Structures are given as C-alpha cells and as structure tokens.
Amino acid sequence: MQTSQQTKSVDSVEETRLAAQAINVRKTYGSGDTVVRALDDLTVSFERGTFHAIMGPSGSGKSTLLHCLAGLDDVSSGDVFLGGVNLATLTEQERTVLRRTAVGFVFQSFNLIPTLTAEENVLLPSRLGGQKMDPEWLATLVRTLGLEDRLTHKPGELSGGQQQRVAAARAFATRPDVVFADEPTGALDSISGGSLLAFMREIVEKHEQTVVMVTHDPTAASYADRVVFLADGRIIDELSDPTADKVLDRMKTLGSHS
Amino acid sequence: MIRATLKSILGHKMRFALTTFSIVIGVAFVSGSFVLTDTLSETFDNLFKDILSDVDVSVRKATDEAFDDMMMQMPDPFSDEALAVVQGVEGVAQAEGAVQGMGTYVTPEGEQIVFEMAPALVMAWHEIPELAVFEILEGVSPTENGQVVIDSGTAEDYDLEIGETLGVAAKLALEDFEIVGIAESPGQGAMMGAKFAFLSRQEAQRMLEVDGQFHQISVVKTDDVTREELRDRIQADLGSEYEVLTGDQATEEMTEQLGQGLGYFKSFLLVFALIALFVGTFLIVNTFSIVVAQRSRELALLRAIGASRRQVRLSVVAESALVGLLAGFLGLFGGIVVAGLLRGLIGIIGIDLPSGSNVIALRTVILSFVVGIGVTVVSAVMPALKASRVSPIAALRGEGFTARHSSGRRVVTGVFIILFGLVLLFLGLFADTFNPLVFIGFGAAGLFVGISVLGPFVVRPAITAISRPAMSRAGVPGTLGVVNAQRNPRRTASTAAALMIGLGLSLFVLVFGDSFKASASKAIDETFAGDFMLQRGSDTGGPPLPFSPHLAEEVQKVEGVYAAVGLRGQPNMAGIGGPWVYEEEHSKAVIGVSFADVEKGINFKVLEGEVSEDNPGLLVHDAEAEEFGWLLGDTVKMQFPTAERELQIKAIYEDSRALAGAKYVMTSEIFDEVFPNGQDMFAFVILDDGVDIEVVRQRIEQAAESYPGIRVQDQNEIKEDQRDQIDQLLGLILVLLVLAVFISALGIVNTLALSIFERTREIGLLRAVGMTGFQLRRMITWESVLVSLLGAMLGALSGIFLAWAVMQALAEEGFSEFSIPVVSTVIFFVLSAVLGVLAAVFPARRAAKVDVLSAVTVE
C-alpha cells in the first residue's frame, strides 16, 4: 500500500501541508427535474494540525461533505484528496485500507462494537490491519482522554460521554491524517460534550493531529481553530479562532441572507 | 392486524421464504410417502386384478392360522392326486396344477442372473390358456424337455434371444435349456422386476424336486356355478388339509399382503419425514423468536396505540399460520417430486416399481395442510406469548424484552425434559412396551429438546473451547466471530440444536453401524466354524439367499474336505430359519442341521446334553430354555405352517453366530419333512488337516460352479462382506438423514441473516473503521462454523450416547462391541465445519453489501 499511495500522491509542498482537500466537488442525487445538488462545485482545504469545524443549516450538505472527504461516499465530479491521495484513483479495497490507516471516525452515536471492551475497540483498526499499536501512543491517548479505569469495560457499562471518549481514542489510534467527527457531542449533555471536545483539542494541539468536525452547535464549534460555513452545498463563509458568540452572530447573519 | 401481519411477511421475503422452505421439505416428505405408497397400492391392485381375473378358484395347502400374520411364504407342495379330485368336482371346466420356486439363470456369456431385490423364478408353463398369466410374444411354449421360455423383461435386460442356451439351476444343479420363446404378461408391472423362466410342467417339477407334486391348482369354472359355490364344493371334496379361495379372495389376499409391506415401507419413510419436521420445528421457533425480538418496538407501539395482548399474539400466530398454509400447499406438490425421487432411489437399489399416475388422496391433501399449519403454528405459540408480554411503555423507552425466565427455571425444565426423555428411552429399550420404537423415538426427541433447553448454558464455554485451537491465527474476524456466536446464547443454542438432531442421528447411525460391524466381526471370529463358508447372494449385497442342499453334499465329496455342514432354513419374517409357533403366540425361527455334521465340527458350545447322529430331536438356546422353563429331555410341541411335531430337547447351547443366530435347531431330516421348501442358508466347510488350502478352495469352487451365485469365502472375506452390507444399509439411512441436516443448515442461514439484519449498524461501523469485505465475510463464516461445530459436538455426544444405550439393550443379541469409528467421526466434524462455511455464504455476501454510509447515518 505504501508504494501505491506514493505513486498516487500529488507531488507538491502545498498538498503535504493539507490533510484533506476537496476541489470542484459536486454531489448530486436523483436526475432530471428532481435532481438535488448536495454539494455544488465546492472547493475547500483542511490544514494539518488544525481543528476544523463545518457548520450550516440542515440540508446544507455538511454531512455529505464529511462523507465524501472520508471516502464513505462517492462524489459526482471533482477530486477529493486525503493525505495527498486522490480517492477517485482507489479501489474499494484500497479505500477500506485507507479508512483503517489514514482516517479516524467519531459518529454521533453507536461508535463502538458492543461485544468488545473499550481497549479492544481502540485497538480495532490496527488489529484489522494486522498491526501492533504503538503502546506509548495508546498510553498518551488513554491518559489524555481519562480512560485509564475504563479499558476493560464493555460499551454497555460506560456512560455516553465515556463511550464518545473511547470512540475518540479509537479515531486517533492509528495517527490518521484526519479524524472526521460527525456531531460527536450531539447525544451528550453539555458537560460531557465540553470535556470530549477539550480532549480532542488537546490532542490536536499537542500531537499535531487534524480534526474535521461537523456540528450545528456554536459552543462545540468554538473549540475549533477554524469554522467553515456551508449553505446549499457551497462554502459561504469562514471564521478563524471562533468563540461561541462570534459563531452565533455569523450564523444569524447568514440565516438572514438566505 | 391482518394487514400488519401481511406487511410483516412481505417486508421480509427472504426470512419468510427460508422459514417456509424448512417446513415444505418436511411436509413434502410426508405427502411424498403417502403419494408413493398410494400410487403403488392402486397400481398393484389393478395389476393383480389383471393377472388373476381369469382364475375362478385356486387351491393350495392349508396353513395353520397361527401363521396368518406372517408374510407371504412360498406355499408348501402337495400331492398331484388333489388335481384329479378337483377335476372331478361338478362345475369345474378346467383345472391345472402349478409349481414354482426360486432359481438362478446363467446367460451364454456366463453372466449369472440371481435374486437382486426381486426373485428369479422357475415355474411350470400353464397349458390352459385361460389360466396363463403370461402370453407367448415370440416363439413357442415349452412343451419338451430342455426347453425354456423367459419373460420379455429378462430377455431385454440380458440381451437373450430365441435359440440361445440358458443355464437354469433350481433345487437341482445347473442344466442347459434352449430358449424357445419369449413371453409377456399384462401384469408385468406387478412383478417388480421379478424374472421368470418357464419350463414344461415335468421339467419344472424335476428341477424343483417336487415330482408328483404341485404348489397350487388354478380352476376355471363352468357358467352354471358361481365362484363361491364352486369354492365350497371343492373345499368339501378336498378336506381341511387344503385351502380353497375364489379368484377375488386371492386378489384381495395379495393386495392385503402387499398393503402390509407398503405399510412398513411407509412407516420407514415417515420416520424420516418426522425427523425433518422435528428439525423444522426448531427452525421455526428460532425464527419467530428472533423476529418477535426484533419487532418488539413495533409490537410495543401497536400495544401503545391500543392493540390488545390477544391481537398481538394473534398477529404472530397469523403470520405463522400463513407460513404453514403456504408450506402445506407447496409441500403437497413437493410430495409428488419426493415420490419421484424415492422411486428413483428404490430403482437404484434394483427394485422396478410399476409406474402409474400419481394418486393424491384427499387424506394426503388434508394431512399436508394439517401438518404444515399445525407444526408451524405450534412452533410459533411460545414466541407469540412472548410477543404479547411486551409492555406498551417499552416502545417509548425504546427497549425490547428483558428476559423473564430465570435461568433456574430453565435448568429445572431442561433437566426434567432430559430425564423424561431418558425414562422413555430406557422403557423403550429395556421394558416390554407395546411399541418400543415409539418409546425410543420420543425418548430421543425428549433428549434433544432437553439438551436444546440447557444449550444456552454451554454456549459460552463450548464456543470458547471449540474456537481455542484456531484463535491464534484467526485475527480480528475470528475474535469477533467467536464473540458474535456467544452474544446471544439462546439463539446460538437453538440454531445449533436443530443441527444437533440431524448430525446426532447421523453419528448414531455411524457409531451403531461401526459397533454392529465390530460385533459381527467378533462373533465371526468366535464362532466361525471351519475354513470356508458357502453363501449365496447377489454381488450387490442383500440378504443371503437359500441354495440347494445338494451343494453341501457335493462339496462333502471334494478331496481334502473333512466336512461340509449345511444349515437348513428359509427366509421369513421371524428370522432366517423356518417359522414355528409355540403355544399359539410365540413365533420363532428354527434351522435344520445334520446332527452328524454337528458332531463333526460346528463350533458352538453345548451346555447340557449332547448332539448325536443317532439321537434326532431339538437343540435349544439356553436363554430360550430359561424363558420357557424347559429342561433337558423335555418335549416341546411345535406348530409349523403345515405340520405339527412334538420334539424332545437333546441339548441346550450357548449363543452362537455359527447357527445364524438361531435359537432353535433341529435335525435336518425333520426340517425337510416339515418345510418341504426348505433349503440351505449357509454351509460351513472344514478341511482335512495339512491340506493346501488354496488348492482345496479351487476344488470347492469348481464343485460349486453348478450352483450359480455361490460364493466360497474364508473368515476375513465373510467379515469384509458383512461390513460391505452394513455399510450399504448405513449409506441409505444417511442419505435420508441428509435431509434433516440440510434443513438445519437452512436454520443457520436464517439465523445469521436475521442477526446480520439486526447488526446492520455494527457492520457499517466495522466497515467504517477499516474492516475489509473479506474480513467481514470471514467474521460471519467463523460465527457460522462455530455454531455448526457446536451442533456437531452436541450431536456427537447425544448420538454416541444413543448408540451406546441401544447397544446395551441389544447386548443379548450379540452386540457386544461398542466401537466409535474414528475416521468417520473426524470426517463428520470436518463436514460439519464445511456445512458452516456453506451456510455462511449467503448471509456473508449480504453483510458485505451493507452500505457503510447508510449503516452509520441511521436516524
């Protein structure tokens, strides 16, 4: 896999600086009169070592964008690069391997295999690839996320917040190019949600990791370094070093725009 | 509610199809058994009527009524003076005597035509055309010495033509006859592949050694009497020593006897149908349990919006009834296919069944639906009860059922059912019950059900134990497969339990068969009397056939032979040996042997008394003597079919296979008197000391050449032969059991498919975090293989136990050696694993198709 990834990578300094990139991406559903444009000629880049948030109203295409960036869904046209690899050039098998090595996921809920312990869930991607996980890195993640006492528990024995933290540890386990998080705090109370995001922020800062998070919660977005606003499948605005209030303001203005 | 039920069925077509199919197979087997036997019964009826329509009255030697229930025997011969008496009766237009017996033919190429499931007969040609069952198709009838007419089927099968020479042997040794004609019967189909060689009457009497005798007389009446009147007149003139029947009675009698035979056949088939249905029951219980669990929220919602418990229960039962209805319908027609397949299977064995259009009796139709709906609905009752217990609030809380059964209650129930099964089993095996097989059957069923009830407790440790050897290399898919197999112990247990039944019964057959072989070998070792044994039989196996007593006489004369001991008998339902009855209720088998030969060397142990040529009489097995309280020197009153004798007990002996398992032995002279059709079943040959065994063997074989079909075998060859024959029988039974295994494999497919449906999100998640399609398929295959190996393990334990129990009961019959066939058992486990792999193919493919995106973005 290593060699094929290298040959398929785009050879430029710009690309290696970026963890993920979408160029002129379109995603349409249906055809003819009933065609729905989920993503409409969208171009966006996500730098490494940064915590990105994607915001937008329902139906703006933010989840679709996330799925396309992660290789879970195909684009209708345009290119998606992940860690410098053009997803369009990969077979399904190669994409699976890429998901295992270059991407991490945190979903809103149901992130863990109920039959495996917390630790086994964290180790799952490496084990699927037949690799041993770096023990130091595992220790770091466990410590940062406060999971020391929870490793031998099954998901059913953990609180919602703990489950999401295990999911986060799993997502960062392979030191992926990007961790995609789809409303990771959506099912949590504000305290658990806040601590999860704080942990993720800490990992991004201290260990040069990249997170792209979809959210509709301004407070959640305030943990990010950068917020991208989406509407009707297009990037309509961007905000750096956001606070919750700034995000809320921006959303209000955008809301009155449309 | 009905609409909700229909929706539910249509919503899950695959599940519906698999569930239905599992019952269809069982129902089809039931209806197929009935269709086939009904069809055969009607076809035979018609054929018999064809054959016998012209015979107004027939006469034969009267058989004691104690033998009425026994299967058709070759009638005993009687003096031809009776013919003159019959011809003198007023109202008799024409009458003719007939003789018939078993024979062997040899084609010009030297090919032997022997009994192969259907007999090769030697008969006298009917000279009176009205009485002839066969008509000459080509050539002329056999009127002179040295002429033979054969039936067209045999002519065709063996490519025989008029003018060719056919060797014919009966009680006399092989002689050459010229084929002068080929005959055909309108009732050919009723002969089931029987072969016919017609000789002139004198020649037939000579070859069968019944000179001056007939086996039967057929009569054509004049127009002025009825059949009944004529029968009564002839009976009056002949006296009670003869039995006189009208043609209609004779037809009825044949039909009845055939009906009895078909009845056994039907019962045999129905046993397998029941096993298939039993396994199907497990599958349905399991499917509906899973479905109810998956639908718990939906059912709770129904309850929340006002459906009563009864309505919820009804909706589940209604779904099962629809499944049953469809299964009954498809099974009924599937039965026609099954009937055809069974017919083919029987054809392979060598029995030609007459063809006729399928008879689908109303009884078969009703039964198919009753069985289909009955089995399905009964199976769905438990899940339906469970469904109705769901509380309306559960829908709001979004939860299913919490298991209400305490595990304590489950243990008690399981243990109770197992004990109940064991009691029935042991009653069937060791007690005197009205029908031991029914007890054993229900006992085994109880055992299986009990194990499946207790199954959930062993699932976790058993799966861990089974998977341990492979886990180090199985990786994540293996680990997850193990975990998945263990996560719902009840589901895994009942899926494995269904498999346990088919596999358990298969292993039972294998172990029992192996023990049977070992016991037989041991018995042969212990009792094999001499150097060789003579037996007659077709190359394809089947029961040993009687052969001419002259053979032993001939072999006795061979240079280097010390003794050739023939054991006289005739095959019948009571065993190998002539039937007789003690005190009008105990039917027994007796064989005849020359006491002079016994003195010379049959290897059996005399406990009391002595066997001497000068002291003819009866020898009795010690267990029998004990049962009836006989002592040495007592006189036993023996009722034979057409004679009665009082014989003195000359010796009491220990069990011996050398006597073909016979419990009674009498002097061959007496045997020949009371069984005029008696022939030798086996003969032992003992050589002189110090002779070259191979040389003498060749001489014996040469002497036996005139008696086609005779095989000269030494101890090892006999064992080999016996093993082959047992294997053949085992093969047939295993083929029929494959059905049950197949159904239980469907059970795995179904359970897996339903589980996968349940775990869609989890599978999507696994795919999202990097599990490849291949790894996913491996994970599901692992789960399937583990479930199937669990079934095999439970099956092996119960099967071996059952075989052991049955062996204990049969210990007295000489089943002394308990033996587990190692190779077969290993193959059995390997095949079970393969079965698991195959069962996983479809569910795994389905799982691999799960769309990652839709799985992770539900809601």
CA pair distance B747, B413, nearest whole angstrom: 24
Angle, vertex CA A98, rays to CA A96 and CA A101, nearest 5:
115
Q: Which residues of B touch A101 (CB under 8 A)?
A: 770
- Residues B765 and B750: their CA atoms lie apart, in Å, by 23
Q: How far is B750 from chain A (nearest CA, A)?
A: 22
- What is chain B's length? 859
What pLDDT is recorded for position A52?
Answer: 93
pLDDT tens column, B164-218: 999 999 888 889 999 999 998 876 666 667 789 999 999 999 999 889 999 989 9
Q: pLDDT digits over B623-667, tens only?
A: 888 888 889 989 998 888 888 889 999 999 886 656 666 788 898
Contact predicate B105/B197, CB 8 Å: yes
B671 close to B592: Cβ distance less than 8 angstroms: yes
Q: DSSP class of residue A32?
A: G
pLDDT digits (tens, 9 = 90+) for A189-223: 888 889 899 988 998 988 889 999 999 888 999 99
Mean per-residue pLDDT for B714-718? 84
Backbone angles phi, psi at A40, to 5 degrees: -125, 95
* Residue count (chain A): 258
Calculate the average pLDDT of chain A: 84
A110 closest CB neighbour out of B487, B765, B852: B765
Cα distance between residue B767 and residue A98, in whole Å: 11
A-chain CB neighbours of B769 within 8 Å are: 99-100, 105, 124-125, 128, 170
CA distance A162 to chain B (A): 18
Number of A/B CB contacts below 8 angstroms equals 67
Q: How far is CA B665 from CA B191, B581, B662, B799, in A?
A: 34, 14, 7, 37
Whole-number pLDDT of residue B515: 87
Inter-chain contact B480–A115, Cβ cutoff 8 Å?
A: yes
Render pLDDT for A37-81 as a digit per residue (tens, 0 to 9): 888 888 998 999 999 999 988 888 888 898 888 888 888 889 999
Tell me how close the Cα of A156 comes to any Cα of chain B, in angstroms: 13
SS3 B800: helix
- Note the pLDDT of residue A2: 41
Which residue from A92, A105, A124 is facing B476, i.e. has the nearest CB?
A: A124
Closest Cα in chain B to A74: B853
Across the interface, of A115, A130, A170, the residue whose CB is closest to B484 is: A115
Helix (H) or strand (E) holding A104: strand A103-106
Q: Going by C-beta distance under 8 Å and a sequence separation of 6 or more, which residues neighbour residue B472?
A: none
pLDDT digits (tens, 9 = 90+) for B38-49: 888 888 777 777
Q: Do A100 and B767 touch (CB under 8 A)?
A: no
Q: How confident is residue B756, by pLDDT bands cut at 50, 70 and 90?
A: confident
Query: Does B773 sit within 8 Å of A113, measured CB to CB?
Result: no
Q: Which residue of B has its CA nearest to A127?
A: B476
**Token pair listed for A189:** 């109370």
* Both tokens assigned to B79: 């003096």
Show the tokens assigned to B273.
């149908």
Percent of chain A predicted with pLDDT > 70: 92
DSSP assignment of A221-256: HTTSSEEEEEETTEEEEEEES--HHHHHHHHHHHHH
| pLDDT class of B576 with cuts at 50, 70, 90 | low
Full DSSP string of B647-691: EEEEEEE---GGGTT-SEEEEHHHHHHH-TT-EEEEEEEEEPTT-
pLDDT of residue A11: 47
- Give dist(CA B187, CA B173) in Å, integer: 30
Smallest Cα–Cα separation from B744: which of B271, B329, B368, B284?
A: B284
**Which residues fall within 8 angstroms of residue B773, CB to CB, at 6 or more apart?**
A92, A93, A96, B767, B848
Beta carbons of B766 and A99 less than 8 Å apart: no
Q: How does pLDDT run across B430-457, given as a tens digit for each residue?
A: 887 777 888 888 899 999 999 988 988 8
Q: Is residue A196 within 8 Å of A188, Cβ to Cβ? A: yes
How close does chain B come to A72, measured CA to CA in Å? 6
pTM, two decimals, is: 0.76
Residue type (1 letter), B296: S
Helix (H) or strand (E) holding A85: strand A85-86
Residue B159 CA to residue B153 CA, distance in Å, equals 10
Say whether B762 and A113 touch across the interface (CB within 8 A).
Answer: yes
Contact between B758 and B294 under an 8 Å Cβ cutoff? The reply is: yes
pLDDT at residue B73 above 70?
no
Q: Are the Cβ atoms of B769 and A105 closer than 8 angstroms?
A: yes
Is residue B790 scored above 90 in pLDDT? Answer: yes
Residue of A nearest to B481 (CA): A115
